[in-house]
Amino acid sequence: MKRIILLLSVVFSCTFLFGQKSISKPNIIFIITDQQRSDALGCMGNKTVISPNIDKIAEEGVTFVNGYSTVPSCTPARAGLLTGMSPWHHGMLGYGKLARKYKYEMPQMLREAGYYTFGIGKMHWFPQKALHGFNGTLTDESGRVEQDGYVSDYRDWFKLNAPGEDPDKTGIGWNDNKSGVYQLDEKLHPTYWTGKTAVELIENYDQEKPLFLKVSFARPHSPYDPPQRFLDMYEDRKIPEPVIGEWSHYLDGVKGDESAAFGDFGTEYAIESRRHYYANITFIDEMVGQIVQVLKDKGMYENSIICFTSDHGDMLGDHHHWRKTYAYEGSSNIPFLFKWPENTNAKLRRGSVLENPTELRDFLPTFLDAAGAEIPDELDGESLLKLVKNPEVSWRSYIDLEHATCYSPENYWCALTDGNWKYIWFLRTGKEQLFNLKTDPEEIVNLSESNKPELEKWRERMVDHLSERGEGFVKNGKLVRREETLLYSPNFPEDNRTENERVNDWHNIYKGID
């Protein structure tokens, strides 16, 4: 009897002291931003950016400096995240609509593993209130309406808290590269809503199940619209200028409108866009700090995985390119931070920096591993916990990148990188680029003509990578130039549209909407 009383008192004490009921599986707090390039954080070496709370996640976990988004635009990146698969296997090779249902889906698999699953912020799924296994979602889609009658939860909340006001009062489109100050109270900004909603859910969480919470901020994706308070923090900070590669001077002097994907708008214009972009990241950082603090207040922090990443980057004028869909680092290299629970049998020192090539597909197998659930052999991702438990474990040598035609006919490419070298194959033109990322991280000099041995090595790797796609991509051991864009692979589920219908749908979606 005394033993029973003692056991009950221990359970009661743990619940009282630590808030969350005792659970064996870790909580998983997955924080993702939209369109954040990897170098837009203090912990990634950019001392201009004010990001102490996100940097703290790096200090208490691991930074993967070669983290990539395989298909660097919103929806295909999120398909890889959702399914744990490579582009050819989940079926999206460029920007289009996600399938309604996949064989493997992160929220559903974690729910089946015993988690309470909830998503807050930008999902960018179709239909827009699809759950894919979440117990619930509260969404913010930046005003995007892709189905009749859809109104995001953020927009409804905005009407409740600012009747008659215009959430788009700042007047900058969500694909514009110009910048401006948010014209309403900062507590009406979508960044505030997303962060505070996540805080509120954690405050109210009292389940015996572990929590899987996806917190998806719609910024720093344009509009570059920080509240004045955050912009003031950057008044005297030196903003890095855009870099222009030797190969990109053909765009010198090219002008376009404020949503142009390519354009030379001048150095000062790009600097101001970056200043506002960084200020939006600092706003996000403040909300991340509040999320972490409430986890600590609830006694959930020590038993939580916390991840911080983005779906893709933003060129911000580098090489006269804007937005994303490119193979270059500003577009494809993303923040990739992972903090593990205290009870993990880790050999990796907290605060470590690893160069292993990682990708969004790696998060699903990581979470399944942490949950003690089976990782299907069909998943292309790898568990990051393998590296935490043994940094010397075997890992992939390089990662694949690609994007179907977007913005211009020539922008149709596949690439490979190990974080040291990057090889890019342009499928329509047959052009190649080769960059030494160790000596030339800004991709200024194309070495495809001057380093033939390295070029041939990576070209052969590309042949091997694309071979499973058939003679439309590789024939007789040679890369094949393509006249037609393939947007969806044969593995895309539940899609019986013709290819022309798919491409037309993609163009209609992408025009000014992403």
d(CA 14, CA 448): 61
Task: State the pLDDT confidence band at 503, using cuts at 50, 70 and 90.
Answer: low
Q: In 467-498, which ranges are continuous DSSP H helix? A: none
Does position 31 have pLDDT exceeding 50, yes or no? yes
φ/ψ (deg, to 5) at 34: -115, 125
* pLDDT given for residue 21 in this prediction: 59
Task: State the pLDDT confidence band at 9, using cuts at 50, 70 and 90.
Answer: very low
132 catalytic per annotation: no
Return the percent helix, strand and coil in the chain, to nearest 5.
Answer: 35, 15, 50
CA of residue 111 relative to chain centroid, distance: 22
Cα dist from 343 to 180, 296, 339, 459, 508, whole Å: 45, 16, 12, 44, 49
**304-310 and 352-354 as β-strands: parallel, antiparallel, unpaired?**
unpaired
124 catalytic per annotation: yes
Q: How many residues does the chain have?
A: 514
φ/ψ (deg, to 5) at 118: -145, 140
**358-359 and 116-121 as β-strands: parallel, antiparallel, unpaired?**
unpaired
Residue 467 DSSP symbol: G
Q: What value does the mean pLDDT take over residues 397-410?
A: 97
Q: Helix, strand, or coil here: 265?
A: coil
Question: Can you list the positions of beta strands (E) in 277-388?
Answer: 304-310, 336-339, 352-354, 358-359
323-335 pLDDT, tens digit per residue, is: 999 999 999 999 9
* Residue-averaged pLDDT of the chain: 93
Q: Helix, strand, or coil here: 121?
A: strand
d(CA 465, CA 232): 48
* pLDDT given for residue 5 in this prediction: 38
* pLDDT given for residue 128 in this prediction: 84
Question: Looking up tokens 């720093």, which residue turns up?
Answer: 220
Amino acid letter, residue 48 = T
φ/ψ (deg, to 5) at 85: -115, 165
* pLDDT given for residue 24 in this prediction: 85
* pLDDT given for residue 20 in this prediction: 60
User: Which one, of 117, 119, 124, lies nearest residue 35 by Cα?
Assistant: 124
Catalytic one of 89, 90, 124, 132: 124
Residue 306: Cβ-neighbour burial (10 angstroms; 0-12, 13-18, 19+): buried
CB 414 within 8 A of CB 402: yes
Q: Helix, strand, or coil here: 117?
A: strand
Q: How many CB atoms lie within 10 A of CB 439?
A: 10
Amino acid letter, residue 289 = G
CB 514 within 8 A of CB 218: no
Question: Looking up tokens 């911000």, which residue turns up?
Answer: 316
**% of the chain at pLDDT higher than 70:** 92
List of residues 6+ apart from 3 with CB closer than 8 A: none
Cis peptide before 127 (omega within 30 of 0): yes
Cα dist from 85 to 126, 165, 309, 359, 381, whole Å: 18, 42, 17, 10, 6
CB 225 within 8 A of CB 184: no
| Residue 84, both tokens | 């744990």
**Global pTM value:** 0.93
DSSP character string of 149-165: T---HHHHHHHHHSTT-
Catalytic one of 74, 307, 406, 414: 74
* pLDDT given for residue 145 in this prediction: 86
